[in-house]
């Protein structure tokens, strides 16, 4: 079990609404209208360190990842190694993945699974960058300057659809329903919108009502996603788009995420980052680095999964680490994510302003539960930050706090703030390099 320690944040305090200090303070204004709905995931697409954990630690990992942290889905791999040649199916290629999925389902029976085709170059040396078997994505091997080079020839969309349909059916025989399915994983130039559209139609024809929600394009960067989605939209009405969720990665920070979000809104579809890069530890940097995660959400991303939840002992920036002795280390970035997931999952993001002195802010509303996040990334404290809720008013006289700063535990520190009942605002001080989540109920609208 994971236990969270209680601490009081001594430098955070309430100031009565309307006081002079509050009027002079930097003000975070919370918008009246909520934006996108939030869905969170945990990434198990590659399992380089899974087998190095002791069995008891694998169980602990699963419980922490998907039961104690109430994510909506786990991202898992579709493996080209299961079909190395056309007409050959090797189910043992999924043994490790099924072991992991079994642990996850035991920890959380209602967990959804998201299948994503794993790049073959991560499993075999000197292979081209493609997420489908070589008999689907065809290349020619040539020698150039004494080295092997791969020249792309063609992509066979019908065979790719059949391959993915077999994966979904196989997983069903093992007791796992695939709720979400990537039509591709990056490789924009290999799988065009036309080819992905053929795949989507054939998948729906074969699987019918059991077809997962289809996700695309999961591009390498925002430029790729914008171009690919834009090409998919040409000549089509929004209702004719063949995928259900718009997706991108930020493997490279190129282009504008806001422009991708604009396209998703035009289509009336959710926007997910199915491989969030750049939001990392180690522990001393985790709080400040959360600006990356909040920035994604502020831009319009509603579905988030950090790329690869489990790393080896050297990967101090991951949520989980498999140590050399087979034990599991749970890092500060996990506890921040857990707080976000458990207080806002399936709720909605509410836009907020960022006043001078704060690195980032965000708010979320789930029913009458509201959370406000404030990040002071500076090396000095910030006094008298006012949060204005607009027409909303606080119910009760206390606000729960969870915060992470330079000197408190990985798990964060819990506390409480006194609040004025039915007040539309509250004020607090923020210590240096500190991230805080403030949680409270709002009154029902009359």
Task: Spell out the alpha helix ranges (H) of 174-256.
Answer: 193-207, 222-233
Q: Is residue 295 within 8 Å of 27, Cβ to Cβ?
A: no
Q: What's the rounded mean pLDDT across residues 302-320? A: 94
Give the tens place of pLDDT for each residue, 189-209.
Answer: 999 999 999 999 999 999 999
Residue whose C-alpha is closest to residue 420's, from 386, 446, 445 = 386
| pLDDT of 11 strictly over 80 | no
Q: Give the predicted TM-score (pTM) of the model.
A: 0.93
Q: What's the rounded mean pLDDT across residues 78-100? A: 97
Look over the chain and give the mean of its residue pLDDT values, rounded to a whole number.
93
Quote the CA–CA distance of 65 and 30 in Å, as a whole number.
31
Residue whose C-alpha is closest to residue 215's, from 95, 89, 39 = 39
Give the tens place of pLDDT for each residue, 334-391.
Answer: 999 999 999 999 999 999 999 999 999 999 999 999 999 999 999 999 999 999 999 9
Q: Is residue 47 within 8 Å of 93, Cβ to Cβ?
A: no
Q: What local confidence, expressed as pLDDT, does residue 446 receive?
A: 57
Q: What's the rounded mean pLDDT across residues 406-423? A: 94
- Strands in 328-330's sheet, in edge-to-edge order, are 310-312, 320-322, 328-330
Give the tens place of pLDDT for each residue, 257-274.
Answer: 999 999 999 999 999 999
Q: Is residue 203 within 8 Å of 136, Cβ to Cβ?
A: no
| pLDDT of 21 strictly over 70 | no
Going along the chain from its start, the domains and CATH numbers come out as 20-33+352-442 (2.60.40.1180), 39-127+159-346 (3.20.20.80)
The percentage of residues in the chain with a pLDDT greater than 90, rounded to a whole number, is 88
The rounded radius of gyration (Å) of the Cα atoms in the chain is 23
């Amino acid at each position: 079990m994971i236990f969270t320690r209680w601490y009081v944040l001594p430098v955070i305090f309430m100031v009565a609404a309307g006081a002079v200090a509050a009027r002079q303070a930097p003000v975070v204004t919370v918008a009246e209208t909520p934006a996108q709905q939030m869905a969170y995931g945990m990434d198990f697409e590659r399992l380089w360190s899974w087998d190095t954990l002791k069995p008891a630690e694998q169980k602990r990992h699963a419980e922490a990842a998907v039961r104690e942290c109430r994510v909506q889905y786990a991202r898992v791999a579709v493996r080209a190694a299961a079909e190395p040649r056309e007409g050959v199916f090797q189910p043992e290629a999924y043994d490790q993945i099924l072991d992991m999925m079994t642990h996850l389902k035991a920890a959380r029976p209602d967990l959804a699974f998201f299948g994503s085709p794993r790049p073959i170059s991560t499993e075999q040396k000197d292979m081209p960058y493609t997420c489908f078997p070589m008999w689907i994505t065809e290349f020619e091997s040539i020698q150039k300057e004494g080295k092997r080079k791969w020249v792309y020839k063609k992509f066979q969309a019908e065979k790719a659809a059949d391959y993915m349909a077999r994966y979904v059916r196989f997983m069903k025989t093992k007791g796992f329903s695939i709720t979400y399915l990537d039509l591709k994983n990056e490789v924009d130039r290999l799988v065009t919108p036309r080819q992905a559209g053929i795949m989507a139609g054939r998948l729906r024809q074969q699987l019918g009502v059991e077809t997962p929600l289809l996700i695309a394009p999961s591009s390498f960067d925002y430029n790729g996603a914008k171009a690919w989605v834009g090409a998919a939209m040409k000549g089509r009405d929004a209702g004719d788009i063949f995928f259900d969720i718009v997706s991108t990665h930020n493997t490279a920070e190129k282009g504008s995420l806001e422009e991708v979000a604009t396209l998703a809104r035009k289509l009336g579809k959710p926007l997910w980052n199915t491989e969030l890069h750049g939001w990392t530890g180690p522990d001393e940097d985790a709080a400040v680095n959360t600006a990356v995660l909040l920035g994604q959400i502020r831009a319009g991303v509603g579905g988030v999964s950090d790329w690869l939840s489990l790393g080896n002992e050297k990967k101090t920036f991951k949520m989980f680490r498999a140590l050399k002795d087979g034990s599991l280390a749970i890092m500060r970035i996990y506890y921040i994510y857990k707080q976000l997931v458990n207080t806002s999952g399936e709720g909605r993001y509410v836009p907020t302003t960022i006043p001078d002195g704060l690195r980032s802010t965000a708010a979320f509303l789930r029913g009458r539960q509201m959370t406000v996040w404030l990040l002071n990334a500076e090396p000095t404290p910030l006094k008298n930050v006012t949060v204005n809720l607009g027409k909303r008013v606080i119910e009760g006289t206390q606000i729960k706090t969870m915060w992470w700063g330079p000197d408190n535990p990985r798990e964060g520190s819990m506390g409480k703030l006194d609040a004025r009942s039915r007040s539309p605002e509250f004020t607090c001080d923020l210590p240096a390099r500190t991230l805080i989540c403030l949680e409270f109920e709002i009154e029902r609208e009359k």
